[in-house]
Structure 1
Amino acid sequence: MLGLTNTFLSNRKLETLVENKTSYTLNNAALHVFETHQQAKKVLLKFDQPVLASMIEGKKVMHLRDYESFDFLPGESLILPSNETMCIDFPEAMRKKPTRCLALAISEDKINKVLQLMNETMPKHDSMEWGLMDYNFHFVNDMGIFQILQRLMFLFSEDHPSKDFFVDNMLRELIIRILQTNERKIYSNSTFALSSNSRLAFVIRYIREHLHESLNIIELSKKACMSPSHFHRVFKTELGISPIEFINNERIKLAVGLLQDSSRSIKDIYMECGFDSRSYFNRVFKSKKHISPGEYQSKVLKNRN
């Protein structure tokens, strides 16, 4: 979870109890920290540049045009286009438990320069160009994005003569990571048109339909009509993770569903998910869920009683 430094908290001015704003402005971006110390409803907010909003503390309920309302929680971020009006509820905010959110407004010129760089140096395999992301993209921060945001909060508030340069470098990495995360969402989304002509989409569909079978890079690369090394590189560029990581993620998602059934043994489940051994299944499951499969199943059953 993102955290505010004691220096920031002691230096900011608390002038209003609802969406009190502390701002830092540099050449290509402005960082705002909003704090709300009492319950409130239908608070309107809008930026004249594209913005990354990331929750620090507390809970918001977001209402966006043409989208269903959703809870916005710590560890999550939201990408919004310029001039998009947000309507926000603060159902739990109070003086001793405020809601805090970071809003990073980035100039469109900076975004366009990063897109140009990506298309020149890391083109997509399907000849399509990197373009503006699917705005109103709501996602959980991965470790890379979390660390960049934490670093940016420090850099914006630091009194350093070169901080514009430092922030510009961090912004470039942040935009690239977000665009790649957005691309992964497109491939991972169950509504993605996997019947399209994309060779990568075909392989993803094949993986999902054959999780119970042995899957290896050589066979998958043949189905994508690529060499193993090229397939691995393209897959990781497009989805941000290796083919093996993707396969294991899909298998664990399947395992989580099967573990809801108390009549299924762990052995039946790991074999149905395509794992060769229980020890490997346990290791992968624990790395993803921070709990063993047996403990997870017991916890599910206990919560039902």
Structure 2
Amino acid sequence: MKLPVEITKKRKLETLVENKLTHTLESAEMHIFETHEKVKNFTLEFSHPLLVSMIEGRKIMNLGDMSPFDFVPGETLILPPNELMRVDFPDAALNRPTKCLAMTISEEMIRDTVVYLNEERAKVDNEWQFTDSNLYIPNDMAIQQIIQRMLFLFAEDHPSKDMFADFMLRELIIRVLQNEAKTNYTENAKELSGDSRLAYVINYIKENLSKQLTIKELSDQIHMSESNFHKVFKNELDISPIDFINNERIKLACDLLKDPNKQIKEVYAECGFNSLSYFIRVFKRKELISPGEYQLKVVAKKQWR
């Protein structure tokens, strides 16, 4: 993520810890923070729903219901109002500041978007609701691209910028809701499967990754047509069933490849891929390196420890 030159023109260094620059629109407020020295247990709190994303450097985040974790560029947090953040800056320096953004979003905009979704794109078994707990979103390219566009929009001198921002914020809220649904279904599929057809089918996928799963088989599990199943799945999770299956298979492959004695041909078969070349292609698209390179990397890392 890049900061537009225009957005930092008025920046003044007033403090070495979380030096703040603020830009405001009708439905959102963007704060750019820079920290120029190492510090521990710095606290921040906002009275509105908050999106936090790293720009440069690393923080260690301490949030109420989560274990402390490294927060780095490409990652996003959604926090409810009045969530206390305790932050450590282990790497910040005067010539290498840690930079992040925090964007508050109007609750009216969130409510209107949730109402729109429930009227026009309703869930199959329950209603859309914006998160009232902490949500961690790792490396979601679509969300990062919206944030980057919002940065340029905050810096732009355009008479219609508030209208443009409302469109982007609505898209951002919808993608956050879909990401939360995907996380919830994936992490709690077994527990939710009695009340949610999508949770049931996700649990079925996770328990049968080694098999040759088809859309017909999955749609039959929850008594839907193939076309309606695909539409419902994509609408709620922002991902196609096939891409979801491949993502789960690659997660499983990454776990299996931690074993230095596992051969690649064993791994792809155990993960349900029917072609070694297709497995390698999907793995490289997801992890940016080949399965063999990944295995060497994780094994070497374990030995180094």
Calculate the TM-score normalised by the size of structure 1: 0.94
In 2, the alpha carbon distance for the partners of 1:157 and 1:47 equals 22
Residue 182 of structure 1 pairs with residue 180 of structure 2: yes
Q: Which residue of 2 aligns with 1:30?
A: 29
Q: Secondary structure at the match of 1:34?
A: strand
Moved more, 261-270 or 50-59: 261-270
Q: Which residue of 2 aligns with 1:168?
A: 166
Contact 1:55 1:73 in 2 (8 A): yes
Q: Secondary structure at the match of 2:40?
A: strand
1:114-263 map, 5 Å: 114-126=113-125, 128-189=126-187, 193-263=191-261
Moved more, 165-174 or 61-70: 61-70
Moved more, 103-112 or 79-88: 79-88
The offset of 1:35, in angstroms, is 0.8
The offset of 1:300, in angstroms, is 3.0
Q: Which residue of 2 aligns with 1:110?
A: 109
Contact 1:40 1:90 in 2 (8 A): yes
In 1, the alpha carbon distance for the partners of 2:107 and 2:300 equals 51
The offset of 1:134, in angstroms, is 4.3
Q: Deviations over 1:17-75 (max 9, x none)?
A: 11111111111111110111111122221112111111111111222234322222111
Contact 1:78 1:136 in 2 (8 A): yes
Q: Which residue of 1 aligns with 2:276?
A: 278
The offset of 1:3, in angstroms, is 1.3
In 1, the alpha carbon distance for the partners of 2:244 and 2:229 equals 13
The offset of 1:195, in angstroms, is 4.0
Q: Where does the alignment leave 5 or more consecutive residues of structure 1 unmatched? A: none
In 2, the alpha carbon distance for the partners of 1:266 and 1:64 equals 39
Contact 2:80 2:131 in 1 (8 A): no
Amino-acid identity (%): 55
The offset of 1:8, in angstroms, is 2.9
Contact 1:187 1:239 in 2 (8 A): no
What amino acid sits opposite 2:36 in the alignment? H
Q: Secondary structure at the match of 2:142?
A: helix
In 2, the alpha carbon distance for the partners of 1:66 and 1:208 equals 26
In 2, the alpha carbon distance for the partners of 1:137 and 1:44 equals 19
Calculate the TM-score normalised by the size of structure 2: 0.94
Q: Deviations over 1:130-179 (max 9, x none)?
A: 11214211111411111110010111111111111111111111111111
Q: Secondary structure at the match of 2:33?
A: strand
Moved more, 219-228 or 139-148: 139-148
Q: Deviations over 1:217-268 (max 9, x none)?
A: 0111111100000011111112211111111111111111222222222212
What amino acid sits opposite 1:67 in the alignment? M
The offset of 1:194, in angstroms, is 4.3
Contact 2:20 2:31 in 1 (8 A): yes
Q: Which residue of 1 aligns with 2:39?
A: 40
Q: Secondary structure at the match of 2:191?
A: coil
The offset of 1:289, in angstroms, is 1.0
In 1, the alpha carbon distance for the partners of 2:81 and 2:132 equals 13
Moved more, 217-226 or 182-191: 182-191
Residue 94 of structure 1 pairs with residue 67 of structure 2: no
In 1, the alpha carbon distance for the partners of 2:98 and 2:53 equals 12
Moved more, 244-253 or 190-199: 190-199
In 2, the alpha carbon distance for the partners of 1:297 and 1:66 equals 33
In 2, the alpha carbon distance for the partners of 1:191 and 1:225 equals 18
Is the alpha carbon distance of 1:204 and 1:196 closer, same or farther for their aligned partners in structure 2, counting shifts above 3 Å? same
Q: Secondary structure at the match of 1:11?
A: coil
In 2, the alpha carbon distance for the partners of 1:192 and 1:170 equals 34
Is the alpha carbon distance of 1:194 and 1:112 closer, same or farther for their aligned partners in structure 2, counting shifts above 3 Å? closer
Is the alpha carbon distance of 1:48 and 1:232 closer, same or farther for their aligned partners in structure 2, counting shifts above 3 Å? same
In 2, the alpha carbon distance for the partners of 1:266 and 1:91 equals 38
In 2, the alpha carbon distance for the partners of 1:40 and 1:235 equals 44
In 1, the alpha carbon distance for the partners of 2:189 and 2:205 equals 16
What amino acid sits opposite 2:124 in the alignment? H
In 2, the alpha carbon distance for the partners of 1:81 and 1:252 equals 32
Contact 1:37 1:95 in 2 (8 A): yes
